[in-house]
Amino acid sequence: MLLYLCEQMIGHTDTLTQADKAIGDGDHGIGMARGFEAVRLKLEGGSFAALDELFKAAGMALITSVGGASGIIFGTWFRGGTKNLAGAATLDSPALSAWLVDGLAAVKERGKTKPGDKTMVDALEPAAAAAEQAAAAPLDEALAAATEAARLGMEATKDMVASMGRAKTLGERSLGHPDPGAVSTYLILRSLWEYTEKSGE
């Protein structure tokens, strides 16, 4: 599933570059592609006994390769989300919920961001809430719900004025464009959901 995610995120480089060019410096696509290529290499070259080891390794690869705030934030999601996954052998709906809820808490702590700041938190927070609500449903349903919540959250960032990062200097001119980190958050969840659809899990 994570290898599929890497392949998809590398494939979305242009989408993320365009999203970042609209309100930032345009480096988000290349940064995320570099990050998920590093994750791919890390996963292919290692063996992992449990989910927490797997997601921690992925998070470290993002932190050390994406660069800038994005690497820290997305890496913190992957790493911080493992708080309650020690020894977990399967990504089921409760594990997905734990990963998103704990990952969100770690990102908010690390980034000092709150909803409405026009950041990836605006996509991750509704996704975590949706996954928590769907924790008793099958994984593909929980991922579908989290993905749709992330999409709506990402769309809502178009109506927000950036108060963090480089887009902050644009002020009102950031209106009408989604936050690139929120776009990435949506695409990450959509890729995980797509994988469950393709693999029939």
List residues near Mg ion by CB under 5 A.
20, 24-25, 27-28
C-beta separation of 33 from 10 below 8 A: yes
Least distance (Å) between residue 27 CB and Mg ion: 4
Query: If you write DSSP's letter for every residue of 155-180 in order, what string do you get?
Result: HHGGGS---STGGGGGGGGGTTS--H
Alpha-carbon Rg for the chain, nearest whole angstrom, is: 16
- Residue 32 or 104 with smaller CB distance to Mg ion: 32
Least distance (Å) between residue 184 CB and Mg ion: 11
Least distance (Å) between residue 23 CB and Mg ion: 9
- Residue 133 or 163 with smaller CB distance to Mg ion: 163
Residue at shortest CB range from Mg ion: 24
Burial state string for 76-91 with b = 16 or more CB within 10 A and e = fewer than 16: bbbbbbbeebeebeeb
Least distance (Å) between residue 21 CB and Mg ion: 9
- Residue 27 or 132 with smaller CB distance to Mg ion: 27
Least distance (Å) between residue 57 CB and Mg ion: 25
Q: What is the DSSP letter of 32?
A: H
Structure tokens at 150: 């992330």
- Residue 64 or 90 with smaller CB distance to Mg ion: 64
Cβ partners under 8 Å of residue 201, min gap 6: 139, 140, 195
- Residue 24 or 153 with smaller CB distance to Mg ion: 24
